[in-house]
Amino acid sequence: MKVKVHVTLKPGVLDPQGSAIGHALVSLGFAGVENVRQGKYIELDLAETDPAKAREAAGAMCDKLLANTVIENYTVDLG
């Protein structure tokens, strides 16, 4: 089963990389860029066929390795 994980910084956590991207976009002439937040996208292929178990396994992977849950949120999508 394919699992898609999106990891983003929690609101209020400084994002210097997002700020750098935003400044670069403005300097390249893209008007109207007010705020940029960057994150991670991770795709997993799991042998699990039960959607609930796949979601649970992916959540455990995020909690233990894929996301720093002190400063990051994550979402898990199946499919």
Strand order in the sheet with 39-45: 39-45, 2-9, 72-78
Q: Which domain holds residue 54?
A: 2-78
Question: Per DSSP, what are the bridge partners of residue 9?
Answer: 72
Q: What is the CATH number of the domain that holds 34?
A: 3.30.1280.10
pLDDT at 36: 97
Mean pLDDT of 43-47: 98
Q: Which residue has the tokens 């992977």?
A: 61
Which amino acid belongs to residue 48?
E
Number of domains into which the chain is organized: 1
User: What residue spans of 7-61 are helical by DSSP H?
Assistant: 16-27, 51-61
Tens-place pLDDT, residues 2-23: 999 999 999 999 999 999 999 9
